[in-house]
Structure formats: structure tokens, C-alpha cells
Amino acid sequence: MGPEVITSRANPLCTHFRKLASSRAYREETGEFLCDSPKLLREAELWGGEIHAILYTEGADLYAFNDAGKDGLIRKVRVSESVMEAVSPMKTPQGVVFSCRWSPERLRLPNQMEPGRCLVLDGVQDPGNVGAILRTADAFDCGPVFLLPGCADLYSPKTLRAAMGVQFRRLIYQCTLGELDALLKGAGIPLYATALREDTVDVRDAGLAGCAVVIGSEGRGVSQEVLTLCEKTIKIPMSPRCESLNAAVAAAVVLWEMARDDLGKGQGGDPICPI
């Protein structure tokens, strides 16, 4: 028997994929999200993503999904180029789109956590920034990343693409400020923020090993509600001509300093970031 083939853009599976790409409410209702590109498919396979269905064009590279042992568990459907263009959220599709079910266990906050460095995003709304920050946190082997209300959807196609599959392999939680506060206090993890006030210190002198640092939104920075819970605030020294840094760039500097502080406590050599 040959592969399943879809030729109509109005097919229910195609409609389902388009809704997953465009609607956060629909993603939350169905418990699924949409990924595009062979790269993300490979990441999902490598890190145990629960793949539901794959649409692909003829000649697309499906990596390990050509294995016969997976055929009965994952729906694989070949589509025309025109159907792929209608379904993919990318302007230039790469020949593969697929749906995944998210695991409630991966999103549920733990009852307690081990001391260590972690990152908090407060109202970072741009999915490209959120994805870039997640990718950088992964590069510097940061602990959990917490997204407070108002952040970009963790499972939107743009966030997934910018993070290059980090969602499949790192602990990332969406939570309220109250939940975060209780969790950090229970683990004895101090909360710092990138903001200016009387106690602000240079990021190079802050001692960031074993703490949680908040990165604020692109427009208003860290909210006052979050700042009231912070033990210290930190600043990144820069030219007086510059008012602020992009959220993803600021996070990269902070994550680098956090990693350096941990290494300074005898946990290894210099961190290496391939360009």
C-alpha cells in the first residue's frame, strides 16, 4: 500500500494544521502545537516529542521517521506543494510540517526544585525574542526558564522556530508570579531583576551563581509587581548614548555572566559558545 495522500486544502487535517498555526486558544483546547521544517522534526524525534501527524512533500527528508516501527503510531501524509504552501506558517515552506501533543507533566510546576540558576521572563511579548532567549539559555545550560503571564506563546510556530527545538529538551514553565515566588523561596533561590533602582549593581559584580534573574518586556521592562519581590537589581554597563538593549541581547549577557559565576565556583572551564 502506498502512502496516504492529501490533495485538497480543505481536508480536515489541513484545516486542523492551519488552526494550530494561527490560534493559541485552539492549541490550548486541543493540547497540540504545530512545527515546521525537517530541523524541528529531527529535534522532536531526538528528544521524545509526542508527534501526532506529519505532512510532507515528495522528496522531503523525514529523518528517522522512515523507520517502519513508527509508521503505525504517527500519521504520515504526502501533500502537494500547493497544499504545503496553504498549511505551513512559513512564507517559504521546507517540505515538512507536523503536529505534536504537549505533555502536561512537562508544563506542570514541580512541588520543589533544586537550588541553581534559572531565568524568568516577564511580559516578553515578541516570539522571536522568547525563542532566542530559550536557545541562549540552552546554550549556557541554564536551569528552568519561567514565563510569567503576558509572554509570547511558548508553542506558537514563530517561538518554536526561533528556539530551534529547545522546547523539546529543556524545562520551561508558564506560571503566575505567586507560583514562581513560592517555588523560588522554597528552594532558597534569590530573585534579581534587570532594572534600575537604588540597590542596582553592575552585572559583573552581582554574583549571579545560583540565582534567578528576571528579563522584562521590550517596552516597559520588569513590572513593579515583580520588582517588589526582587532582592537586588542589576544593570548591564553600556554607552550613555544607548537607552536599553533588546530583551534577547540583555538575556544573553546575563546568561553568560551567570554561567561564568558558576564556573568561577569550580564547576569547570570557560563556557564556549559556537558562533
| Cβ contact 172:144 at 8 Å | yes
d(CA 205, CA 224): 24
Is 70 a residue whose pLDDT tops 60?
Answer: no
Question: Euclidean distance between the first and final Cα of the chain, in Å?
Answer: 46
Determine the Cα–Cα distance for residues 24 and 149; give it in Å rounded to an integer.
14
Task: Read off the pLDDT of residues 188-239 as tens digits, 9 standing for 90 and up.
Answer: 999 999 988 877 888 999 889 899 999 998 888 999 999 999 999 999 888 8
Would you tell me the crossing angle of helices 247-262 and 127-139 to the nearest 10 degrees?
Answer: 10
84 with 55: CB under 8 angstroms?
yes
Instruction: Please check the confidence at residue 152 and state whether its pLDDT lies above 80.
Output: yes
Kindly indicate the confidence band of residue 151, based on its pLDDT and cuts at 50, 70 and 90. very high
Query: Is 127 in a helix, a strand, or coil?
Result: helix
Average pLDDT, the chain: 88
Structure confidence by residue, pLDDT tens digits, 165-195: 999 999 999 999 999 999 999 999 999 999 8
| Confidence (pTM) | 0.88
d(CA 256, CA 252): 6
Q: CB within 8 A of 105, min separation 6: which ones?
A: none
**Residues linked to residue 193 through DSSP beta bridges, in sequence order:** 214, 233
Element (H, E) at 124: none
Condensed to tens digits (0 to 9), the pLDDT of residues 109-123 reads 888 888 889 999 999
- Residue listed under C-alpha cell 522584562: 216
